[in-house]
Structure 1
Amino acid sequence: MSPSVLAPPEQPSPSAQIAARIDRLPASATLWRLVGLLALGGFFELYDLFQTAYISPGLIGDGIFASGADGAFGMSDQAAFAAA
């Protein structure tokens, strides 16, 4: 007997099933609205993520953050700011 006869039929992975289900959805206004809202949320998430690099030097310059000093929980002020 060949191995293909003895092997049980393979089920598609859950992620493949989800992708296939999304591909079968009609391109309705509701779906495009969801895509637009997700894209808008992603834009603001990345904006917030990358803005931290530009805000910290200004906060150090204004004296709000202390350079090299330990802040809350033993982390520097910049690390606590970026982690939040």
Structure 2
Amino acid sequence: MHPKQPYKPISCDFYDELEAFATQQKIVLVEFETPEGNMRHCEVRIVNLQTRNKEEFVQLDNGLEVRLDYIHSVDGTLMPDHC
């Protein structure tokens, strides 16, 4: 994923799972690609989901903000390729 790629909406079911994790304040393993193309993973709580400029983001309790289409998996659940 590169920073100039247009936002690709994620699966509605996966979005619902992210909302549930945020509500539960459960610590989860989030695996994602950075805009530079590097893979990262961290054990965090999902604090909030937010939409800006027609792009969706997750805010993590470690201060990171990740665009949702950069996420590969959360707590072992792979993100589907479609909505």
TM range (shorter): under 0.3
Whose strand fraction is larger, Structure 1's or Structure 2's? 2
Larger Rg: 1
TM-score normalised to the size of structure 1? 0.22
Whose helix fraction is larger, Structure 1's or Structure 2's? 1
Which gives a bigger RCO, structure 1 or 2 (Cα 8 Å, sep 6+)? 2
